[in-house]
Amino acid sequence: MMKLWLTALVVLLSSLPGCGGDIAGGDPGPNPGPDASVTPPPPKPEPPCYGAPPPTGRSCSCRFTDCNGTSLSCTCSPECLGKRTDCLISVDDTGKAITSDPVLSTCAKITCEIEEGAEGEHRRMECLASGCQKTNPPPPPDPPSPTTCPVPVPGPMTLTGPVWGEYDVKFYVPHASWALAAAHASKQVAEVAKEGIDLRLSPSMFFATALKESYMGCSEILPVDDPFQSGRLERRPNSYADGCLQIESTTAWVEMCRMYPGELDCTSTTHEGVVSSTNQAATGRDNFASSAFVKAYYDVFTYARLTQLGMPDPDAWFSTAADGQAMAKVVALLFNQGGWSGDAERVARQCHDKLIESCLGNTDYVVAVSSYLRELEAGVALGNCYNDLVSQEDVDDYLSRILVLFTREDGPTLRAAARSAFAAAARGEARAPFQKVAGAVLDAIDQRMKAKVHCPEAELSSWYATHCPK
């Protein structure tokens, strides 16, 4: 890869003095992992990493590279070199980095590297900022009003990116079934807390993962690819075989059939039927909804696997980890690499007091997913939530999309309960805002569903001689 190095001192515009894809998988064969009898001492509480959000702006995505908040790494559009002056960081014709950001403006030095990608890779400008001065983290925003945003599915927003090499990406949830599925799967994962497992997957996590895995391009409800437009959701036919979340047929799907035989009848339910998006014309489904549940089950399974990867008590490890996004980053790592990840074991033993990615050789997947997640959840915290009008037909359609996965459910009973809940919440209206009706509809469905996301204790014991975290 050819690199053109540009070293530039920050040119201040103020008067202040100078300063993540691969696919979910992993070997499905038995592998007991490290000696579970060797239990390391519980992690000691560590001071948290600097809590302020990293700078955000046009065509650049930044992250802190140390827990002190004094150095940052930013990935920017190559057009920020010489062609544009509106980027978070721009480099002028003389090689000077220019920024008006209040955090980057405190840094002593910014070094920018232009990378000319090999075939199939995207050209980008990479910048490192050092000697930055910490500012006081802003207070967290007030949570959205429960009457405004009770179901925390993210609304439309512009993500800085890069997503597949594109910046300023116009994110939105393209279909009501996607919003219902992400909220429903998240709701079921939260219930695993009753088993003493504090795994948290917000609805945004499903979209952050889909952005990295397929640019959310698994559906033919999206517009066709336009080479003259960037930063928009489009059909990506290359993603169809394993769906929006890129769940492999020979690894992750096989593992879920083995771990959850009571919920998934894999004698009649196939990867092609509930994960792959290739048969949309025949089925009328892109299978995002069913794939979201497969991801939820997979994430609970890999969370349990952490007990054999250096975390005898994952809840305790994450509750005292210095990285505020530690759980989300490790969940992303395991979804990408599988439940036998050597990187996960390295993180467990070396990165409790550091940023998670500092223990990884390849940081792309984890950094990308956690960056998208941070932006999506920040929007939700400010009350920017999905709120399209939905109808009873949308609810029926959602149920049809998950019942192909959960074939042992009583479909007529679930439909009747969902319709009743919708009618009551919508107060007789044929269509109502998602936030007004979704919570009641999902409660009604979930109360009557037999299939629940849970930790597969018996199967873990049988296949891997391990147990669910307690």
**pLDDT tens-digit series, residues 132-182:** 998 776 666 566 566 568 999 999 999 999 999 999 999 999 999 999 999
Residue 40's pLDDT band (boundaries 50, 70, 90)? Answer: low
* 64-107 pLDDT per residue, tens: 999 999 999 999 999 999 888 999 999 998 889 999 999 999 99
Q: Over 80: is that where the pLDDT of 333 sits?
A: yes
| Element containing residue 101 per DSSP (H, E) | none
Residue 442's pLDDT band (boundaries 50, 70, 90)? Answer: very high
* 177-234 pLDDT per residue, tens: 999 999 999 999 999 999 999 999 999 999 999 999 999 999 999 999 898 899 999 9
* 431-440 pLDDT per residue, tens: 999 999 999 9
Token pair recorded at residue 253: 């799907």
- Supply the mean pLDDT for the chain: 88
pLDDT of residue 198: 95
pLDDT of residue 114: 86
Q: What percent of the chain has pLDDT over 90?
A: 78
Maximum alpha-carbon separation in the chain: 69
Q: How many residues appear in the chain? A: 470
pLDDT of residue 143: 60
Report angle CA 386, 391, 397 to the nearest 5 degrees: 90
Which are the contacts of 109, defined by CB distance < 8 A and separation ≥ 6?
Answer: 7, 9, 10, 129, 130, 131
Neighbouring C-beta atoms of residue 269, cutoff 10 Å: 19
Q: Give me the mean pLDDT over the 282-291 stretch.
A: 96
Residue 41's pLDDT band (boundaries 50, 70, 90)? Answer: low
Residue 113's pLDDT band (boundaries 50, 70, 90)? Answer: confident
Choose the weakest-confidence range: 112-126, 281-295, 343-357: 112-126
* 224-283 pLDDT per residue, tens: 989 889 999 999 999 999 999 999 999 999 999 999 999 999 999 999 999 999 999 899
pLDDT of residue 46: 61
Nearest CA to 279 among 225, 239, 222, 241? 241
Q: Cα(422)–Cα(395) distance, rounded to whole angstroms? A: 8
The answer to whether 204 and 380 have CB atoms below 8 angstroms apart is yes
How do the domains of the chain map onto residue ranges? 2-19+50-130, 150-159+166-470
Q: Give me the mean pLDDT over the 365-390 stretch.
A: 96
Which runs of consecutive H residues, i.e. helices, occur in 191-287? 203-214, 252-259, 271-274, 280-283
pLDDT of residue 24: 52
Question: Between residues 463 and 21, which one has the greater pLDDT?
Answer: 463
Q: Over 90: is that where the pLDDT of 29 sits?
A: no
Choose the weakest-confidence range: 3-12, 52-61, 239-248, 369-378: 3-12
Classify burial at 96, counting beta carbons within 10 Å of its beta carbon; exposed 0-12, middle 13-18, buried 19 or more: middle
